[in-house]
Amino acid sequence: MNPFADPALAANYEAWYQAAGCRADQLEKALLAWLLTRFPLAGTLLEVGCGSGHFTRWAGEKTLQATGLDISLPMIAEAERLDSVPYVLGDALALPFADNTFDLVTLITTLEFVSEPIPVLEESLRVAEQGLILGVLNRQSVLGWQRRRAGGPVWGAACFFTPTEMAQLVRRAANRAVEITWRTTLWPCWQGWLPLPWGGFIGMAVHWR
Ligand SMILES: C[S@@+](CC[C@H](N)C(=O)[O-])C[C@H]1O[C@@H](n2cnc3c(N)ncnc32)[C@H](O)[C@@H]1O
């Protein structure tokens, strides 16, 4: 059961970014923007598991032509209420797009909630011409520990990864050689990101070699 299918959760999802999640959000976007600079020729982006469209809208503001996809109808309805970016109701396990449709595919805090991360990564790689940008909560961090401890309908349904585990999953899903770059955010210790394996939020870029 996808906890994000709950209309009440969908209606309140964006509020977290405006309040408690504001600083973490700024830092995560700064790391994602840095990872985006590794794809200077990218013009189109698909966010898989876009939720309320928070990062899809942000990518659109960065001059990318962005599209969001999510399996939750209430989340898609909320995203459509908030802006005019194109949104698609669909499953990350069977993306309704031809091979190489988008320059980039991004999954932000979505792999934690899918039943089969490797097939989801295979599908994302299939529709991405240049590569992927991933954002994942780090199991090996204080933030990951806090979320697991909080449990409940959302965090109790999540499966967390470390940077090494994420890189292994990506290499297993890719059918050719890939180059992987990752950093983690270190807030509240430091307002930046470094290649340290214990920061809370992992940002990872995956390029074809
Ligand atoms: C934690 S939310 C992240 C939303 C957004 N990326 C963000 O960071 O604000 C995870 C999202 O993944 C979606 N999701 C889970 N399984 C999915 C699947 N199989 N296909 C598409 N979306 C899925 C959920 O519906 C939910 O909206």
Question: Tokens representing 78?
Answer: 């909320």
pLDDT in tens, 164-206: 999 999 999 998 899 999 999 987 778 889 999 999 999 999 9
Alpha carbon of 157 to ligand 1 centroid (Å):
12
Alpha carbon of 85 to ligand 1 centroid (Å):
17
CATH code for position 64: 3.40.50.150
For residue 63, the model assigns a pLDDT of 84
Q: How confident is the model over 122-144, as a mean pLDDT?
A: 96
Is there a contact between 207 and 198 (Cβ–Cβ < 8 Å)?
Answer: no
Cα 6–7–11 angle (5° rounding)? 120
DSSP at 113: G
Query: Which of 6, 27, 110, 122 for a ligand 1 pocket mutation test, highest count of atoms within 8 Å of Cβ?
Result: 110
pLDDT in tens, 14-46: 999 988 889 889 999 999 999 999 999 999 999
Of 118, 130, 131, 134, whose CA–CA distance to 48 is shortest?
Answer: 134
Q: Which residues line ligand 1 (CB under 6 A)?
A: 2, 4, 48-51, 54-55, 70-72, 75, 91-93, 108-110, 113-114
Q: Whole-prediction pTM value?
A: 0.97
Cα 35–121–139 angle (5° rounding)? 70
Domain count, the chain: 1
Alpha carbon of 61 to ligand 1 centroid (Å):
21
For residue 20, the model assigns a pLDDT of 82
pLDDT in tens, 46-89: 999 999 999 999 999 988 999 999 999 999 999 999 998 999 99
Alpha carbon of 70 to ligand 1 centroid (Å):
6
Domain region containing 127: 3-208
